[in-house]
């Protein structure tokens, strides 16, 4: 049950981060894509830490 809660929290954080970056980024599509990739990688690392992997 704890893993499900952690997964839900991580998912919400990832969606929030994507939304913030999408609204904040005013540069080219390439810059936005690179930032999105970095954010998703960081979120995946956090998810792995929370899930103990």
Would you say residue 40 lies in a domain? Answer: yes
Structural domain total, the chain: 1
Would you say residue 53 lies in a domain? Answer: no
Would you say residue 4 lies in a domain? Answer: yes
Would you say residue 51 lies in a domain? Answer: no
Confirm if 39 and 50 have CB atoms less than 8 A apart: no
Query: Which structural domain, as residue segments, surrounds residue 9?
Result: 1-14+28-46
Percent of the chain past pLDDT 70, that is, above it, reads 79
The C-alpha atoms of residue 36 and residue 51 are separated, in whole angstroms, by 22
Nearest to 47 by CA among 2, 3, 16, 7: 7
The C-alpha atoms of residue 32 and residue 48 are separated, in whole angstroms, by 24
Would you say residue 2 lies in a domain? Answer: yes
As a whole number, mean pLDDT of residues 28-45 equals: 84
- The 10s digit of each residue's pLDDT in 10-35 is 888 888 777 666 665 566 777 788 88
Would you say residue 33 lies in a domain? Answer: yes
The C-alpha atoms of residue 7 and residue 1 are separated, in whole angstroms, by 10
């Amino acid at each position: 049950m704890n893993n499900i809660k952690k997964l839900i929290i991580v998912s919400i954080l990832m969606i929030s981060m994507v939304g913030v970056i999408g609204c904040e980024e005013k540069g080219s599509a390439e810059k936005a894509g690179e930032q999105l990739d970095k954010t998703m990688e960081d979120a995946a690392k956090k998810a792995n830490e929370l899930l103990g992997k």
